[in-house]
Chains A and B, each alone.
Chain A
Amino acid sequence: MSTGGQPSLVRSRRSARRASSVFGSLALLMLLSLTGACSSSAPKGDPHYRAPENILEVVAVLQHHVPDDTYHFPAARDYTGRNVYRASLLRLENLERAYESELRAGHMDGVLTFSKARALERLRAYSVAAETYRAAAERESSLREEALHSAEVCDRLDRASAGSLYERRVFPEGEVEAQIPGPEMVIARYEERLAALEAIAEDGTARHYNFVALEEIERADLERARFFSTARHLFDGGDERAIAETQRLVARHPDSKNANKHLLALADLYATQAEEYADALPPEGLRFDPVRFHQLVSSATRLYERVAHQDGTPERLEAGRKLEAFLAFTLRIDVDRFTK
């Protein structure tokens, strides 16, 4: 979706794997029976029905985007330019309050709660989504089965994604923080996390959760690469390991919507290492190895350039500017130590 007929910067695409459904043809048949009349705008209906009208609109938009393949394509944006899942969640909360008296009878409670849970799970709030699904199951019996199934998947996702280093949950509570984990230990943790996520991704009953699981797998790979990038000074061969791990990330997710970001991360790593190398062994000094420096610089440049050629992506701008900045850095190196 976009604003004012202008294209949004990113858009969602559904998976090509989806097949036509019976309901689609039913709806189309019904539409055809109603089409052919004048297309002028009708006046707004009875204001008493503004609340259900708005709820149906949010449900329509949200449900249309629930099966979206958000691993390969960026999440859709609504007409205000916001992430469609976040916008749906906020609109549902607005409607709950703005039409408080119309909804006081509670007949839409189940629908609202279930819809919020659908939005929440795409915002990575798995534990809140699971709780909300369970509340929806209690409020609306027709959605009970679906809600409980979704709650169970969200619980699994929550457990599997709980290893995030960023959230400082890589180690169970109370476990050593004073000592830095070794690479093998970190890898073992990530492998464990990956196994749980892959089980969800391969689960045939999980439907759109496959894409959510794929996103989580990518996130786990990214965190693993980041761990080695951040901690590279702490291990022997840390620099090489960090590059290998980031290359692994790039290689494992070439079709992801974030593929360009991963390439940028790799380019950044080469660039940082080049700068660190020049700082540690000043080019005018005797220990500076032009060949090693050249390798780092050319790798970074090549990657930045590759991303800078990707038309229509925000990473293009980022890569272009970073390339310029990096080349400016290389200009500071004496020409007899580095020629390009």
Chain B
Amino acid sequence: MTAALLAMALGACHTPAPPPIETLEAPRRTALRPPDEADMAAKQLAIAVLSNCALDPQPAIERIERFDADRVRSDQPTSGLLSHAIDASLSCIEDELAYQDAIDTLREMKGVDKYHRARLDQEVADDPLRLAKKRLREDKLEHYGSIYNTLVGPLGKTVLQGGITAPIGLTSALGNLFASETQRDELSLRQRQALVQWREFIEAHPDTPEAAALAERVARFEERYEDYLIEEHLDDAKIAMNRRQFPLASLHTEAALRVDPDHEEALRLHDVAERWANLQRGVMQASVGPASSFAVAAGPEDRDEGPRFETYAQGSTQPEGAGASAASTREPLPGSSNRTTAALWLAPGPGGSLGDPSIAEHVREIRRSSEQANLRQTETGSMYGKLQEASTALLLGGFPTDAKGKGKGKAKNKRDPLSDEMAFIVGMSLSAQGKEDESFAAYRKLAKTKGSESNMGRHAAALVNEPTRNPYGSFKKTKSSDDWQRTRWLWMGQMANGPRKRGLWRPVEWVLDTPALIGSIGGLPTRLFKYPTLSPWPFGRTPAIHARNYLERYPDGEHREDVLKWLQQYEKRRDNQVGTLEIARMRGETSEKKLDRMEEKAAKQMFEAAQEQERRDLRLAMLRRTAQEYPGTEAGKEAGLEVRKLWNDASPQHIRISRGFFEEHPELAGSRGVGLIPSLLDEDNRNGELHPEGVTLLGGDMIQIAYVDHHGDKNEPPQYTYERLPADHLARLVSLLEETSFEKARLDRDYEHEPDAKRDQFFERARLGLTETPDARPSAESSFVFEGVREKYGLVRGRESILPVDLVLQGSLYDLSLNAFPRVRMPKETPDALLFR
């Protein structure tokens, strides 16, 4: 009894919606409406205009005017054609400036509807002179506004609260202001935008009085623009010089000289850069030469800490101490030609690589020649002989006895001229035996020798510092620097890399950013709290690259396990489940349970990534891969099902018109558009309701209509029915849809008719009735959604304030202060700003 009552009560409260029997209205053919006076006048006007104004448009305008007057007299709405007619007739004005003035006048005219005015506004706003004026106005606002904004906060704090930190903040703000003003570009981006507009105007209207008036201003701006360019190039040149990239610096100075061939600073810097580049080349050449020549040429490359730009800019052509090096040149070594040959044998890379059989053969040839020249005889018993012995052993794939640690020829006497070559051979031999650490220890030791003492030190240094040859060293180095960076970030937050670079003396920059530094340090608890859940994980990228390089170069290296362990932790930390699993397998993880858990996580991650993929073919490929690689996991099974579903439900297009869009534009739902039966939009569940998902164009002539399910719940997934539209119906629908969207975009600034080439391609084909053969290419699929603005933004939409300022309320936990002040709202960046960077 109770159950029956409950069932009755439930039945009374909820009326299930029956599935609709018919979804589309039967096509209706409206009666032919013969054109009336206004239609014919519009036609007359269009013809007059299209005939290049050979016919007078005025009579047509008067006809429309009379027609509207009659309608007003008989209490009927006007045709609304008059303003459009005048607009069309204005296209007969041949002078562009007069046309702009006329359009400007027209948009102020009574009787211009909102839609038409929006177009006229755009036309007027595009006038280059207006645009230039606007950009200059924005430039001033940006300049003075930023000065005001920099000072207003600290000033307010000082006035309202006083204390110690407030004046520090104000001083810092003043310093920042001073720095930014001194670093200000000669010509700002917005001024350059104005300059382009002026140039365009002058080019298009060279003989107008406006162009003549602009000429002087343009010349002034162009001069400043040239100064700006030179300044940019010279700044780049200085940076390059500080990095010892003298050829690049020379290139930048040349670019500056192309703008102004007589620019004094550019000429001077060019000269300095050129001389240093030549010197650098000399050093490079000498690196394979005998030690004597090498010592003479020792330049900036040979120092740990090179001179800064200021040193170069002083006009010095010789590195400090280069003269002294030249003066202290060693006496020519006995057998220096032998030394050169030895260096050639041992030099890594092209020309000296022992791994290359052709090179090895070449080296053997040199050796044979040397022997023929009785060199061996003169050097018998010397280090040279031992060196040759050791080299030969290496070339022939063995290990020199010396290099095994107890060799008779081990270079014990450091003053022996060939001891460095011998040490290098020892390093190579250890490396060949798989003793990575010992080998690099030998190279490192050799790398520490001064350039004037050993020519092999340079080659050893190259080996030690080259990340591809010493990946473990690079891994350790970058890991240590990454750890340090992480510590700095934890303590100093955004100030981890020091104060913002403003081109000032660094200590001054530190002083200027002191308040920011104090604030940053105060944020330590917050960072400690956030640290465990940081996403995306910002650390460890560089060491990970070197770690993977190491595993590739030394698959069975001495540090394989350490590196793998670190990599696994890293991948886990950055939530790369696939990577974690891969490393675990590389480490030989044996626990089935652990591996299963990891596989499940990896499959889930892959599945989720696949679902985010917009292109159908790529999504399919990723899902298939998930299902194939992780068949035993839940996510793998789900991916397999999803693949089947995608295959079954695949459609060439997926352009959706939401219910909200139909509600805002009922014409689209009616017989002129899709032709939905009106009951689908009457909010009555009993006769079926259109689901918020709406109607989807599936490609070809097929559409999918989504209904609210039988429970009448709009939040539940919909039920679908499918309909075919005749070609002319589809053509009408897409035409009306596009026109409606354009109109809305013009009237509602929250709505944008976003570009979508694939959608437009489908619409073009539909208009021409070419949808019989759907375009099945996955990349031709559009998933564009025509969505109602209310659906998108809700009932109350945010509006930008009409005030030119934003009110800022600022609180600081660090000094428990509160501050409130108005900030000038800066003009937004224009879309073409990227063309000026």
Contacts and interface: CB of A to CB of B under 8 A. Distances in A.
A52 B281 contact: no
Contacts of A309: 229
A176 interface: no
Interface string B379-400: 0000000000000000000000
Interface stretch (B195-203, B370-378, B535-543): B195-203
A179 interface: no
Size category, A interface: 35 or more
Nearest to B117: A41
Interface string B767-802: 100000000000000000000000000000000000
Interface string B264-297: 0000000000000100110011000000000000
Given A18-B96, A72-B203, A312 B835 contact: yes
A24 B206 contact: no
Interface string A113-125: 0110010000000
B131 interface: yes
A30 B58 contact: yes
Interface centre among A31, A95, A316 (most CB of B within 10 A): A31
B105 A32 contact: yes
Interface in B73-95: 76-81, 83-95
Given A13-B200, A41-B117, A111 B109 contact: no
A143 B47 contact: yes
A28 B98 contact: yes
Interface string B710-733: 000000000000000000100110
B113 A42 contact: yes
Contacts of A302: 258
B34 A45 contact: no
Contacts of B55: 142
B94 A21 contact: yes
B51 A143 contact: yes
Contacts of A53: 42, 79-81, 84
B247 A335 contact: yes
A110 B49 contact: no
Nearest to A63: B91
B824 interface: no
B162 to A, nearest CB: 45
A1 to B, nearest CB: 5
A340 B248 contact: yes
Interface string B39-78: 1101101110111111111100100000000010000111
Nearest to B233: A305
A201 to B, nearest CB: 19
B81 A56 contact: yes
A57 interface: yes
A107 B113 contact: no
A146 interface: yes
Contacts of B258: 302, 305
A284 to B, nearest CB: 7
A94 B739 contact: yes
Contacts of B657: none
Given A80-B753, A94-B739, A56 B125 contact: no
A340 B346 CA distance: 30
A26 to B, nearest CB: 6
Interface stretch (B4-12, B145-153, B603-611, B742-750): B742-750
A108 interface: yes
A166 interface: no
Nearest to A338: B247
A93 interface: yes
A45 B203 CA distance: 41
Given A2-B122, A14-B96, A95-B739, A59 B88 contact: yes
Interface string A263-306: 00000000000000000000010000000000000000110010
Contacts of B122: 1-5, 79
A9 interface: yes
A258 interface: no
B745 A80 contact: yes
Contacts of B552: none
Contact of B90 (A60, A81, A108): A60
B86 A2 contact: no
A311 B205 contact: no
Contacts of B83: 42
A305 B39 CA distance: 57
Given A7-B831, A52-B43, A97 B767 contact: yes
B39 A41 contact: no
A104 interface: yes
B61 A44 contact: no
Nearest to A108: B43
A165 to B, nearest CB: 27
Contact of A9 (B32, B123, B832): B832
Contacts of B80: 42, 44-46, 49, 53
Interface string A8-49: 110101101011110110111011101101111111111011
A207 B78 CA distance: 38
A55 B669 CA distance: 23
A7 B39 contact: no
A234 interface: no
B102 A24 contact: yes
A111 B39 CA distance: 12
A335 B281 contact: yes
A52 B735 CA distance: 16
B706 interface: no
Contacts of B250: 339-340
A192 B76 CA distance: 63
Nearest to B247: A340
A254 interface: no
A195 interface: no
A207 B742 CA distance: 32
B47 A45 contact: no
Interface in A314-340: 314, 316-317, 327, 335-336, 339-340
10 contacts: A16-B204, A21-B94, A28-B101, A41-B114, A45-B81, A63-B92, A94-B736, A101-B32, A142-B47, A335-B284
Given A23-B56, A41-B113, A57-B119, 16 more contacts: A23-B89, A34-B86, A39-B107, A45-B79, A49-B39, A52-B38, A56-B42, A63-B88, A73-B200, A97-B728, A97-B736, A107-B40, A311-B225, A311-B836, A336-B284, A336-B285
Which 10 residue pairs across A and B have the least CB separation, nearest first? A45-B80, A24-B93, A37-B110, A13-B204, A23-B92, A52-B42, A312-B196, A60-B88, A97-B735, A94-B735
